[in-house]
Chains A and B, each alone.
Chain A
């Protein structure tokens, strides 16, 4: 029982971090960033290249991954989202194309085979019979720290409030003198950073291979749909629902079915309550 609780908490923290960058873009820009999974991919591989192949300090690897993710997010906004002028379907489709291109780029540079990331912090702690690797623990703690920081950033700072305003009503925000382009660019940058950092943790949780971006994308999608747009708390709660559901499914029913339950939850919620569990009344 304790084991399930601990594993559930660790996994949920990771899922919340993965979903957060995706939620930000979806609430502020109203855009489904299907290339979000690719940020995780790039983040994981950047860390692998700098920290493991070149042997730089691990913290430098994480930082470089974050910087690259941020740059990619901003570049994507400048080169792809803005020229398409808010045509959502076009942005979504070109995001999908971009994700496949990035995946192929990774294959081109690092090859098709999967890589094992060395744990960020080696060592295993035993808590009540459950083996908890330090790096998973670190990932969960780091997710929580990042999430809390993000929550206060969005709620308290000027930029964060401007982001909320653009998310609620772009026209009203423009009237109040908010430069929506700048806010959007910042959001894309933050989203890219979060994605790349989440990618480092996710890759050390599973493994690093070119197709690894699809699973976290689906998880992010699931969390956002079930949580509803524009709700950081909703994202947090639903990440825990999904995390615990997966851990419990693999513990009590069958490990192969863990993904199935998540998909069934998405489809069920979308059919019964299209706005999500915690979403604002809109759409």
Chain B
């Protein structure tokens, strides 16, 4: 698929706009943006795997958590510098990604979704039981080294990470590999029939997804400075990632970003009215209605609206 100059112009405009954001909004809003950026990274990671190839993963926190825990343990217990621990965390996450590929070679559909859920529960329980002196057990760890200080720096870090990930994924998905991955989602047999190695393509998608998840998880932990198993391996977290990708528009790159920002801000604006977990009642309701209305997400709704406007003028 060819690249046009206006694609790059759109990217440049987006990046410039986002980088000017600290001038326009308050520090409090900026902190919301930081979470939206991280959620966008996780949603892109989920989308590379599940949105494109159709192998729905309900256990994405498994990968994110492995990245996060690896760097947390390395920096906290072994005094490894952050510059070294993050790359190691990414590599470990990719190895863990291989564990998830293993079942995907034989099973698909609902069974695959189930097994990823099982992976997440397994790691959640293992983390609390095995070597609590390393993992911090049920209470997790705090006082980890943070990469940045202050909302503005944190924003720039998270934004840079998100933009780099999104741009690389976008470029990659415009190549033949990206097309092949989407083709797996449509008809795996046909891809096999075209003489492509489905196994190798799946392996690639899983490793790429694990790479992004590990990267996102590691940076997230060094932004927060703490880690807790209950918040990480949580069904609400899975829910937020999946819904962000789907509401925005699965199997596009811009979709998960839109979804992440939409959901994060929705959640924040509900905070004054509903302070606790009951926010998810409205949040989930909105997500459910949007999803039932248009399973292809906001991106598709905008697209259709845009073509209607163009047809009229």
Q: Say whether B121 contacts A225, CB under 8 Å.
A: no
Name the distance in Å between B27's Cβ and chain A's nearest Cβ. Answer: 29
Q: A101-B285, A264-B122, A274-B107 are in contact. Are A89 and B115 (CB under 8 A)?
A: no
In the complex, residue of chain A having the shortest beta-carbon distance to the beta carbon of B291: A94
Q: Interface size (A, Cβ < 8 Å)? A: 47
Evaluate contact between A97 and B128: CB separation under 8 angstroms. no
A218 contacts the other chain (CB 8 A): yes
Bound state CA distance, A223 and B283, in angstroms?
32
Interchain CB contact under 8 A, B58 and A263: no
Q: Is residue A103 within 8 Å, beta carbon to beta carbon, of the partner chain? A: yes
| A88 partner, pick from B103, B110, B114, B122, beta carbons under 8 A | B110
Any A CB within 8 A of the CB of B56: yes
Give the residue of B126, B128, B285, B295 whose beta carbon is less than 8 angstroms from that of A87. Answer: B295
Residue of B121, B242, B274, B278 near A218 (CB, 8 A) is B121
A132 located at the interface, meaning its Cβ lies under 8 Å from any Cβ of chain B in the complex: no
Instruction: Name which of B102, B274, B284 has the most chain A CB atoms within 10 A of its CB.
Output: B284
The residue on B at minimum CB distance from A98 is B288
CB nearest neighbor in B for A258: B125
Instruction: Report whether A97 and B284 are in contact in the complex, using a CB–CB cutoff of 8 Å.
Output: yes
Secondary structure class of chain B's binding surface, majority of residues:
helix
Whether A270 contacts B246 by the Cβ 8 Å rule is: no
With both beta carbons as reference points, the residue of chain B lying nearest to A224 in the complex is identified as B114
Binds B, one of A6-14, A104-112, A115-123, A151-159: A104-112
B242 adjacent to A96 (CB under 8 Å):
yes
A266 within 8 A of B: yes
Q: Which residue of A lies closest to B58 (CB)?
A: A96
Query: Is B6 part of the contact surface with A, judged by Cβ < 8 Å?
Result: no
Query: Given the complex, which residues of B lie within 8 Å of A263, measured CB to CB?
Result: 118-119, 121-122, 125
Interface residues of B in 106-146 (CB under 8 A from A): 106-107, 109-111, 113-115, 117-119, 121-122, 125-126, 128-129
The answer to whether B280 has its CB under 8 Å from any CB of chain A is yes
Q: In the complex, which residue of chain B has the Cβ closest to the Cβ of A214?
A: B235
Q: Which A residues touch B107, using CB under 8 A?
A: 270, 274, 283
Assembled-state Cα–Cα distance A257/B265 (Å)? 39
Chain A residue with the shortest CB-CB distance to B106: A274
Closest 7 interchain pairs by CB? A104-B281, A101-B284, A104-B280, A263-B122, A108-B278, A32-B110, A256-B129
Residues of A whose CB lies within 8 Å of any CB of B are: 26, 30-32, 34, 80, 83-84, 87-90, 92-94, 96-101, 103-105, 107-108, 112, 210-211, 214, 218, 221-222, 225, 254, 256-257, 259-260, 263-264, 266-267, 270-271, 274, 283
